[in-house]
């Protein structure tokens, strides 16, 4: 599929990955409609940081994916839908699981139903590597068993299964895209890399972190959105689950030391009990297999971890960006 000239809806466009995807789709020549979460302040998340000339090219739609009527209004007359809107913070899912069911499962159902009814040409549903739980083997391919180790991951497993059912039952042209741990500019402080960087840039010499031994497969955000676009372009991806991964892993402790060396080598890491997941909920190892995406698309990661971290640190080092973060509190 050639995306140029296509009418494309991005849900969660106001968020971290969504805002980067909007930029990428504009570069591809798409007519972009950005579905942002309604609020009475009329703020559009990270889209508010875009220059006027870029914003003028985007159609803003304010709504809530939990509302099927608003979803249908947004999707009508679109050709392609990228569904990224979700609740994603794992600690918050421990005490508010109902909201995750409503947004991640029911919200995805609303998207699927509308895409079915309006005969959308391509639907991309965003999953997460958390659905795999702690690796039972590595690298983790798409056939790896699913394990809901948090209410968040359980709802994403449910949403993925719903997407598969609509492909099998109604032939909806849907693909489940499963990014591993994406990082980069604009990421929220509930994630580990912004947590480390913002503490260091604000002068802290004792960096508070949770568990240091788990490993993660880290994907720079520009590589992640390139993966979304290449999967949408491919004619071979309907009905598939596809990882976006680097085939590498690094422990949280080693990652923290790498960032510390880049910003303030004198800083030390201290354990903060508040930041630890319950033992059976901690995902100990994520290390993804990217063979499938390379076989089905033209995607290849173009940023090394060092390059991605440097670009991320440069963005956070801008005062106006850093001021958006509260590094002195634990962000759930």
What is the average per-residue pLDDT within 194-213? 95
Check residue 122 and give its pLDDT: 98
pLDDT band at 184 (very low <50, low <70, confident <90, very high): very high
Check residue 273 and give its pLDDT: 86
Planar angle of CA 185, 39, 221, nearest 5 degrees? 15
> Measured between alpha carbons, how far is 37 from 39 in angstroms, rounded to an integer?
6
pLDDT band at 204 (very low <50, low <70, confident <90, very high): very high
Residue 180 tokens, joined: 């591993």
Q: Does residue 118 have a pLDDT over 90?
A: yes
Residue 66 contacts residue 107 (beta carbons within 8 Å): yes
Does the pTM surpass 0.95? The reply is yes
> Measured between alpha carbons, how far is 69 from 109 in angstroms, rounded to an integer?
12
What is the average per-residue pLDDT within 99-107? 98
Check residue 330 and give its pLDDT: 79
> Measured between alpha carbons, how far is 275 from 260 in angstroms, rounded to an integer?
19
Arithmetic mean of pLDDT over the chain: 97
pLDDT digits 0-9 by tens, 281-311 = 999 999 999 999 999 999 999 999 999 999 9
Residue 3 tokens, joined: 């995306």
Residue 77 burial by Cβ neighbours in a 10 Å radius (0-12, 13-18, 19+): exposed
Check residue 271 and give its pLDDT: 85
Q: Mean pLDDT lowest for which of 137-151, 260-274, 305-319?
A: 260-274
Q: Radius of gyration of the chain from Cα atoms? A: 19
> Measured between alpha carbons, how far is 250 from 254 in angstroms, rounded to an integer?
7
Q: Could you tell me what percent of the chain has a pLDDT over 90?
A: 95
What is the average per-residue pLDDT within 96-110? 98
Nearest by Cα to 73 from 117, 13, 14? 117
What is the average per-residue pLDDT within 234-261? 98
Check residue 224 and give its pLDDT: 98
Residue 10 tokens, joined: 């991005």
> Measured between alpha carbons, how far is 6 from 252 in angstroms, rounded to an integer?
40
Check residue 321 and give its pLDDT: 97
Residue 36 contacts residue 14 (beta carbons within 8 Å): yes
Q: Which fold has domain 7-183+219-244?
A: Rossmann fold (3.40.50)
Residue 274 tokens, joined: 């508040």
């Amino acid at each position: 599929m050639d995306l140029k000239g296509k009418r494309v809806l991005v849900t969660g466009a106001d968020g971290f990955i969504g805002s980067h995807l909007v930029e990428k789709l504009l570069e591809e020549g798409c007519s972009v409609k950005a579905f942002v979460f309604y609020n009475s302040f009329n703020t559009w998340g990270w889209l508010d940081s875009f220059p006027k000339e870029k914003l003028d090219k985007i159609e803003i739609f304010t709504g809530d994916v939990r509302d099927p009527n608003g979803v249908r209004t947004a999707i009508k007359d679109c050709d392609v839908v990228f569904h990224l809107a979700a609740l994603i913070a794992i600690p918050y899912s421990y005490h508010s699981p109902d909201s995750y069911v409503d947004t991640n499962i029911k919200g995805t159902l609303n998207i699927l139903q509308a895409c079915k009814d309006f005969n959308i040409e391509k639907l991309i549903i965003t999953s997460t590597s958390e659905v795999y739980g702690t690796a039972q083997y590595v690298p983790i391919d798409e056939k790896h068993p699913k394990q809901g180790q948090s209410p968040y991951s359980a709802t994403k497993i449910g949403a993925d299964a719903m997407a598969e059912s609509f492909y099998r039952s109604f032939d909806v042209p849907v693909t489940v895209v499963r990014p591993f741990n994406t990082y980069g500019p604009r990421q929220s402080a509930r994630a580990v890399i912004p947590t480390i960087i913002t503490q260091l840039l604000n002068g802290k010499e004792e960096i508070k972190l949770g568990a240091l031994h788990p490993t993660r497969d880290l994907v720079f955000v520009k590589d992640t959105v390139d993966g979304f676009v290449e999967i949408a372009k491919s004619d071979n991806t309907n009905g598939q689950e596809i990882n976006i991964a680097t085939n590498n892993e690094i422990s949280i402790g080693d990652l923290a030391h790498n960032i510390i060396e880049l910003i303030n080598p004198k800083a030390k890491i201290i354990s903060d009990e508040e930041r630890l997941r319950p033992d059976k909920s901690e995902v100990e190892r994520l290390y993804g297999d990217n063979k499938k995406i390379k076989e089905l698309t033209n995607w290849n990661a173009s940023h090394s971890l060092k390059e991605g971290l440097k670009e991320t640190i440069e963005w956070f080092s801008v005062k106006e960006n850093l001021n958006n973060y509260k590094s002195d509190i634990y962000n759930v």
